[in-house]
Amino acid sequence: AEARQRLPASAPPPALAPASTPELTEESEKYLYPLGGHWVLQGPSPRNYSLRATSRSAVAAVQPAHRTLTHSCNIMSVPESKYLSPVWRDGLFNDRVVFVTGGAGTICSMQTRALVRLGANACIIGRSEGKTEEAAKDIATVRPGAKVIGIGGCDVRKVESLQAAADRCVRELGAIDFVIAGAAGNFVVSLDGMSPNAFKAVMDIDVLGTFNTIKATMPHLLRSPTPRILFISATFHYTGMPMQAHVSAAKAAVDSLMASVALEYGPRGVQSNVIAPGAIAGTEGAARLMSSEEEAVRAYEAGIPSGRIGTVRDVADATVYLLSEAGTYVNGQVIAVDGAAWRRQGAVSMGTDKSMQYPNFLLGDDISKNIKDTRKPKL
């Protein structure tokens, strides 16, 4: 029943929110996302509410952000509909092994969960031993017989640490067929406020860590009949983004490394691509970078050409496609999973009246009346 089960009768009921707090509604329910083995309610603005529970039925009401409710029970915490579309065939990745850096993070854990659900076994890598091992155990619940190893205490900045993790993965699971390089660092800071050490920290994790991941896993990938490596990037560097110069520089380098892998290892059968998520609801990145004002979030969402903020399922589905046989001929590409959001930079500044917001001025019967100093279109 995809974790819609009721709590055991013996379990204490979850604490209720204060009377002044709005109840969980159908509208707010779409902002309910899995994170680290729990349900997290974050929405409609990512920082407005935060509620943790291990099943949907344990979510009784919306809690203010400064209060966190945790209700423990042995119920699978993430329904399949949250991380995987129903179009994929069971057993799609049988006998395949995926190696994931940053595998306990919100996005990478959902990518891994989707692959394991479809037959793969997995090895997830992280700095925190407890968080990584807990995430591995949780992911393994999606399929009977699934093998998911959590290797904590791994520093992607040190190639020998990654080599030891890759060797253990092969020793215990037999191979590495897919790699997802998702370890990353981020914080919000201006160029004026950023120290050289802060800039170096992000470059070391994102760029050096990605290079080290390639070095540590490529010897194993080349032994696989289906060698695929997928890098997790961003879209900031396409147009630039304030307070994210360090991340923009790092992700531009990641994209470049991906292209080099495609060119150098493509002739040896390796498929190399980037997934660049946009704003993904329920993630640490969205909570850090998006406004805490509901009106601002709604305005941002309205400005996305696809009409909504992304979900972890959007990223997981793109991952399944690229790692499946259907994506075999897609190589050396950056796949932005953002609803075309990054392309709206020019669309919102093309001389519309101040009262008009993208995409509203495009949706009427007579577009020309919404544009300043223009002529009516001729057929």
Tokens describing residue 88: 């994929």
Residues classed as catalytic: 233, 251
The residues, ordered by sequence, that sit 6+ positions from 100 with a Cβ below 8 Å of its Cβ are: 108, 111, 112, 122, 123, 124, 125, 179, 180, 182
Of 74, 80, 112, 69, which is closest to residue 93 (Cα–Cα)? 112
Note the residue count of the chain: 379
Spatial contact of 170 and 149, defined as CB atoms under 8 Å apart: no
Picking from 174, 251, 265, 250, the residue whose alpha carbon sits closest to that of residue 214 is 265
Tokens matching residue 332: 């050396």
User: What distance in Å separates the CA atoms of residue 289 and residue 300, rounded to the nearest whole number?
Assistant: 12
Q: What are the beta bridge partners of residue 101?
A: 125, 181
